[in-house]
């Protein structure tokens, strides 16, 4: 990798699921039939389109997300990885992640995914409890999850999985028991998300109520304590890892690095000829496919980001991280001083209140601050 090129990540969005979970507000869809050849060709075309804008760059990670990208044929995954390698140089050990579900059909294809080039698997477990899984609209059981995790860890060196907590009726003790079970099957990384009720989802329409703030705060604190003791401290609000097992792709995004997003609804952040751009692909899969086949890409928006835009994004993303924001890197990346975009009085109050720390050229949210991140950012940013 060239010394002046920090590299970039590639995100591939596959929007299709076999069913849509009632809590999910991602760009996901179901379809009776999928023209897999057309989708393969369109994704390949979109990579080629952006390759012209990003010459002489190095790819450090590829992330297949969705949706359920493990529904893609393994051969499509392989040719997409090969296409990335044909357009750009790649890091010596690129991280290539595939999201998957713990079902028997996907479990049977683990070796095919590995042969296609996947070297990190992210499994949507969500819970080991069958009642909770039914509530969350999942189509696997706790036993399915365990079998998939065991098979995945026998196949891949790097495996992570997701759990959802702060479900209706769940207590701190319930969650601690579930964490203890999760740790029996965890490798080097685990993602633990609080259930949020997002507008437009079935849970929102059904007025599902999650535990109150005090209970969720207790659960968050228990999560930090249990995972830290297990040697998997948080490195981001919802992500925990053993040292060296952090998601490289997600760290690129959270640290304000470049990443290319292809596929319907995907976002990107790219440096082109010294200018920084935000990209957003067409949201609707049918329209994205049609336009990509006609013109070689499905970009809906591509706009230059100002220094102020860049600075605000760096703060919003960087405060998610336990490491926080390195102020010299912040200035070099955004072209703006940190103190120029934050409210000085609010910064002082947040430090005094134990929600922020500032020392040795770093600003970071404490665990208490990360737990209240939205309110913290609202107060901090001018």
In the chain, what are the domains? 8-252 (3.20.20.70), 308-380 (1.10.10.920)
Query: Which residue, 146, 151, 157, is CA-closest to 187?
Result: 157
| 165, 194 contact by CB (below 8 A) | yes
**Integer angstrom CA distances of residue 199 from 22, 196, 204, 242, 377:** 11, 10, 6, 34, 21
- Please report, to the nearest 10 degrees, the dihedral formed by the alpha carbons of residues 286, 291, 292, 294 taken in order: 130
137 phi-psi bin (left φ>0, alpha ψ -120 to 50, beta other)? left
| 5, 243 contact by CB (below 8 A) | no
| 259, 9 contact by CB (below 8 A) | yes
| Structural Rg of the chain based on CA atoms | 21
Given the structure tokens 């179901």, which residue do they identify? 30
How far apart CA 382 and CA 376 sit, in angstroms, is 12
How far apart CA 380 and CA 375 sit, in angstroms, is 9
**Integer angstrom CA distances of residue 134 from 50, 137, 142:** 41, 5, 10
Q: What's the token pair of residue 322?
A: 């336990």
pTM over cut 0.85: yes
The string of pLDDT tens digits covering residues 238-259 is 999 999 999 999 999 999 999 9
Residue 368: other Cβ atoms inside 10 A:
15
Percentage of residues in the chain with pLDDT exceeding 70?
99
Q: Can you give the pLDDT of all 382 residues of the chain as single tens digits?
A: 444 778 999 999 999 999 999 999 999 999 989 999 999 999 999 999 999 999 999 999 999 999 999 999 999 999 999 999 999 999 999 999 999 999 888 889 999 999 999 999 999 999 999 999 999 999 999 999 999 999 999 999 999 999 999 999 999 999 999 999 999 999 999 999 999 999 999 999 999 999 999 999 999 999 999 999 999 999 999 999 999 999 999 999 999 999 999 999 999 999 999 899 999 999 999 999 999 999 999 999 999 999 999 999 999 999 999 999 999 999 999 999 999 999 999 999 999 999 999 998 999 999 999 999 999 999 999 8
């Amino acid at each position: 990798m060239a010394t002046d090129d920090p590299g970039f990540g590639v995100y591939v969005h596959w929007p299709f699921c076999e069913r849509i979970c009632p809590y999910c507000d991602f760009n996901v869809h179901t379809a009776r039939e999928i023209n897999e050849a057309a989708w393969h060709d369109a994704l390949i075309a979109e990579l080629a389109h952006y390759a012209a804008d990003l010459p002489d760059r190095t790819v450090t990670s590829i992330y297949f997300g969705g949706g359920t990208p493990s529904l893609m044929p393994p051969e499509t995954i392989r040719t997409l990885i090969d296409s990335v390698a044909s357009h750009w140089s790649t890091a010596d050990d690129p991280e290539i992640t595939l999201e998957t579900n713990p079902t028997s059909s996907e479990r049977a294809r683990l070796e095919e995914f590995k042969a296609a080039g996947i070297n990190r698997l992210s499994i949507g477990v969500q819970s080991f409890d069958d009642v909770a899984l039914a509530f969350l609209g999942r189509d696997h059981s706790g036993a399915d999850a365990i079998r998939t995790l065991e098979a995945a860890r026998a196949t891949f060196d790097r495996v992570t999985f997701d759990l959802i907590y702060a479900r209706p009726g769940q207590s701190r003790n319930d969650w601690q028991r579930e964490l203890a079970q999760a740790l029996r099957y965890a490798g080097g990384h685990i993602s633990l998300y609080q259930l949020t009720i997002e507008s437009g989802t079935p849970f929102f329409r059904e007025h599902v109520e999650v535990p109150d703030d005090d209970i969720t705060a207790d659960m968050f604190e228990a999560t930090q304590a249990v995972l830290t003791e297990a040697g998997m401290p948080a490195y981001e609000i919802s992500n925990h890892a053993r040292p060296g097992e952090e998601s490289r792709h997600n760290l690129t995004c959270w640290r304000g690095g470049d990443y290319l997003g292809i596929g319907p609804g995907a976002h990107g952040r790219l440096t082109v000829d010294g200018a920084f751009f935000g990209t957003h692909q067409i949201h609707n899969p049918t329209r994205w496919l049609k336009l990509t086949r006609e013109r070689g890409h499905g970009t809906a928006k591509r706009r230059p980001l100002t220094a102020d835009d860049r600075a605000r994004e760096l703060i919003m993303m960087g405060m998610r991280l336990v490491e926080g924001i390195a102020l010299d890197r912040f200035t070099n990346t955004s072209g703006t001083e940190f103190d120029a975009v934050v409210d000085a009085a609010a910064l002082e109050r947040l430090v005094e209140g134990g929600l922020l720390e500032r020392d040795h050229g770093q600003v970071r949210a404490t665990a208490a601050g990360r737990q209240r991140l939205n309110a913290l950012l609202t107060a901090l940013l001018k």
